[in-house]
Amino acid sequence: MREKLGREVVLEKPRDRSFGHFATPIAFSLAKELKKSPMIIADELASSFSDSDEFSSVEAVKGYLNFRLSEVFLTEYASWALENPSQFAKQEKNQKILLEFVSANPTGPLHIGHARGAVYGDTLYRLAKHLGYDITAEYYINDAGNQIDLLGLSIQLHGRENLLDETVEYPESYYRGEYLDALSRDAMEKFGAEIFHDESRQRELAMWAKDEVMQIIAKDLADTNIHFDTFVYESTLYDDWDRVMKKMGEGIYEDDGKVWIASEAKDDEKDRVVVREDGRPTYLAGDIVYHNQKFERGYDHYINIWGADHHGYIPRVKAAVEYLGYDSDKLEVLLSQMVSLLKDGEPYKMSKRAGNVILMSDIVEEIGADALRFIFASKKSDTALEFDLAEFKKQDSSNPIFYIQYAHARIKTLLGKSELSEAEILAAELTGLDKQADSLLFDTLLLPEVVEDAFNTRQVQKLTDYLKSLAASLHKFYYDVRMIGTEDEAKLLKLMLVVALSIKTGFSLMGIEAKDKMVKEEE
């Protein structure tokens, strides 16, 4: 269609499917250019599609063009998808993307706030991979600075109190939680009890501990089917400090004993400190060196997923990118909002072992990784999310992930009841379908469009919305239409196979495996 009209075309889906599968208002946008009435333009465009095999009809209605895909096109596309399931909804994009997400400090296990960004990032990554982008998933490990020193101190105090039965005085800020029990025991076994009293070895203890914590974080992520291609350690970047600061040129200056970035000149609220009076770098210093390293690796586009509380941090990092000589428009920062958790309508009680947060691993243990992934992908990432764990434990249609899984399992059960062979079903032509079946076929073949739109808009909830809608259509069709033992059994079961493929593919792009059987499946 784009080739025929010579430009990008906005396609809409009419609410009333009787108007067609797609509609476009392109005639209105061409009216001024062509100096003609939209209705005349629409009539002329409609006639130009008379020889198209893709469409059974193209009609001009009040300036709009309404398109109905042909049975031949739909059945050929469906047959191809079933013959090439791993290629369904795939594309080949020519762009290299570096996607950085999670990047939680290696000072403790991941909490549910981290989990939301992790699921969002991994789902974007899967969508991009499927669309053919050359994308790298990266974790930036902040293993330099005060938070790492505080980890070493926290382990020392925890070990003295819990392993050596000493009375200790904790500072106002320190790390707490059950994970410190294991770290303290392992530290005593590795270094001896004296490590808890030797202040000069606090940094050594901290650097060992952060690697141990990273193993906890990696396991939490792996248990949720999230993996990274590369890890970058902040502590390795500072050897490049002098070169990068020179590269910043006029963007860096000294004043009042501190080193500043002139970020106000680049639309930040004010200039920011990069190096304190005592010579210690701020977080921003590490980010400057890190983003220089990112851009020197030569990607076409860079995506960061940060917590919503980092919103004000965006202008200063973009300012640094500009001073480093790069195009800051290539850096895209997406925000992930906080999560509120309920259990049976009441605020979720924090685990004693978690310290003062709700651990990601606790929620995975309670409702499973699939449910957690679905929940966190089901709402726009930069809006607040509240959910009740009890809802996602229910084995009925009120639980959206159960509802979709049940649709897939229902199809598998239905196919198991048929006496037709797989070859007989696949050979059937999806022609002569009634209105409801035609609508279901069209909906299930929309997955490629949904996948691309979800990635392009960075709104992964569009995929969950689509799967919920498709499952609802499937369940209604199942109740309305008898399939087994009818004259149309083969083609209706082929239609069911296409629906199952869309559900399975959509779930895989969310890191979820579609189920062939459900515990409470009805016969």
Banded model confidence at residue 397, pLDDT cuts 50, 70, 90: confident
Q: Over 80: is that where the pLDDT of 483 sits?
A: yes
Residue 240 located in a structural domain: no
- pLDDT confidence of residue 353: 47
| 305 DSSP assignment | E
- Domain check: are 415 and 453 in the same one? yes
Residue 108's nearest CA partner among 160, 170, 175 is: 175
Does the predicted model carry a pTM greater than 0.85? yes
* Neighbour-count burial for 182-209, b at 16+ CB within 10 Å, e otherwise: ebbeebbeebeeebbeeeebbeebbbbb
Banded model confidence at residue 9, pLDDT cuts 50, 70, 90: low
Q: Return all residues near 319 (Cβ < 8 A) that are at least 6 apart.
A: 251, 261, 262, 263, 265, 266, 267, 268, 328
* Exposure on the CB side of residue 309, measured as CA atoms within 13 A: 4
Q: Return all residues near 390 (Cβ < 8 A) that are at least 6 apart.
A: 342, 343, 344, 345
- Report CA Rg, the chain: 28
Q: What percent of the chain has a predicted confidence (pLDDT) above 90?
A: 74
Dist CA 270 CA 314 (whole Å): 13
| 281 DSSP assignment | B
Residue 293 located in a structural domain: no
Is 440 within 8 Å of 495 (Cβ atoms)? yes
Tokens at residue 383, please? Answer: 């809006």
- Domain check: are 502 and 405 in the same one? yes
- pLDDT confidence of residue 232: 96
The 10s digit of each residue's pLDDT in 78-94 is: 999 999 999 999 999 99
* Neighbour-count burial for 320-350, b at 16+ CB within 10 Å, e otherwise: bbbbbebebeebebbbbbebebeeeeeebee
Beta bridge partners of 305: 334
- pLDDT confidence of residue 406: 96
CA angle (507 as vertex; 81, 94 as ends), nearest 5? 65
Q: What percent of the chain has a predicted confidence (pLDDT) above 70?
A: 92
The 10s digit of each residue's pLDDT in 220-263 is: 999 999 999 999 999 999 999 999 999 999 999 999 999 999 99
Give me the amino acid identity at 96. Answer: K
CATH code of the domain in which 18 resides: 3.30.1360.70
Banded model confidence at residue 521, pLDDT cuts 50, 70, 90: very low
- Domain check: are 436 and 471 in the same one? yes
Q: Over 90: is that where the pLDDT of 203 sits?
A: yes
Dist CA 342 CA 338 (whole Å): 14
Residue 23 located in a structural domain: yes
In 249-316, DSSP assigns E strands to: 252-255, 258-261, 272-275, 301-307
* Neighbour-count burial for 368-401, b at 16+ CB within 10 Å, e otherwise: bbbbbbbbbbbbebeeebebebebbeeeeeebbb
Out of 38, 69, 100, pick the residue that ends a domain.
Answer: 69
CATH code of the domain in which 453 resides: 1.10.730.10
Dist CA 452 CA 469 (whole Å): 17
Q: Over 80: is that where the pLDDT of 57 sits?
A: no
The 10s digit of each residue's pLDDT in 328-359 is: 999 999 999 988 888 888 887 765 444 567 89
Q: Over 60: is that where the pLDDT of 522 sits?
A: no
- Which range has the top average pLDDT, 41-45, 65-69, 419-423? 419-423
- Which range has the top average pLDDT, 142-146, 175-179, 205-209? 205-209
Residue 213 located in a structural domain: no
- Domain check: are 82 and 180 in the same one? no
Residue 60's nearest CA partner among 72, 47, 79 is: 47
Out of 179, 201, 223, pick the residue that ends a domain.
Answer: 201
Neighbours of 8 (CB within 10 A): 9
Residue 81 located in a structural domain: yes
Is 303 within 8 Å of 99 (Cβ atoms)? yes
Tokens at residue 18, please? Answer: 């009787």
Residue 105 located in a structural domain: no
Give me the amino acid identity at 246. Answer: K
Out of 69, 100, 121, pick the residue that ends a domain.
Answer: 69
- pLDDT confidence of residue 20: 67
- Domain check: are 36 and 79 in the same one? no
Residue 56 located in a structural domain: yes
Task: Domain of residue 169: give its range.
Answer: 148-201
Find the helix packing angle between 179-191 and 202-222, rounded to 10°: 130
Dist CA 519 CA 10 (whole Å): 43
DSSP string covering 130-149, please?
HTT-EEEEEEEE--SSHHHH
Q: Please provide residue 461's backbone torsions phi and psi, each rounded to the nearest 5 degrees.
A: -65, -15
Q: Over 60: is that where the pLDDT of 264 sits?
A: yes
- pLDDT confidence of residue 374: 96
Banded model confidence at residue 70, pLDDT cuts 50, 70, 90: confident
Dist CA 8 CA 26 (whole Å): 9
Banded model confidence at residue 516, pLDDT cuts 50, 70, 90: very high
- pLDDT confidence of residue 51: 66
Dist CA 260 CA 263 (whole Å): 9
Dist CA 344 CA 192 (whole Å): 46
Tokens at residue 1, please? Answer: 């269609």
- Domain check: are 87 and 25 in the same one? no
- pLDDT confidence of residue 265: 96
The 10s digit of each residue's pLDDT in 274-306 is: 999 999 899 999 999 999 999 999 999 999 999
**Rounded mean pLDDT, 8-36:** 72
- Domain check: are 400 and 424 in the same one? yes
- Domain check: are 418 and 455 in the same one? yes
Q: Over 70: is that where the pLDDT of 202 sits?
A: yes
- Domain check: are 65 and 78 in the same one? no
- Domain check: are 504 and 400 in the same one? yes
Which residue is listed with tokens 């809802």? Answer: 391
CA angle (232 as vertex; 231, 234 as ends), nearest 5? 145
Q: Return all residues near 106 (Cβ < 8 A) that are at least 6 apart.
A: 141, 142, 143, 148, 151, 210, 211, 213, 214, 217
Quote the mean pLDDT of the chain: 91
Q: Over 70: is that where the pLDDT of 309 sits?
A: yes
Q: Over 80: is that where the pLDDT of 439 sits?
A: yes
Which residue is listed with tokens 């084995």? Answer: 395
Q: Please provide residue 304's backbone torsions phi and psi, each rounded to the nearest 5 degrees.
A: -115, 135
Residue 303 located in a structural domain: no
- pLDDT confidence of residue 37: 80
- Domain check: are 488 and 450 in the same one? yes
- Domain check: are 417 and 479 in the same one? yes
**Rounded mean pLDDT, 434-459:** 95
Cα 151 to chain center, whole Å?
30
* Exposure on the CB side of residue 150, measured as CA atoms within 13 A: 14
- Domain tally, the chain: 3
Is 72 within 8 Å of 433 (Cβ atoms)? no
- pLDDT confidence of residue 90: 96
Dist CA 464 CA 377 (whole Å): 7
The 10s digit of each residue's pLDDT in 129-162 is: 999 999 999 999 999 888 999 999 999 999 999 9
Tokens at residue 421, please? Answer: 């062979």
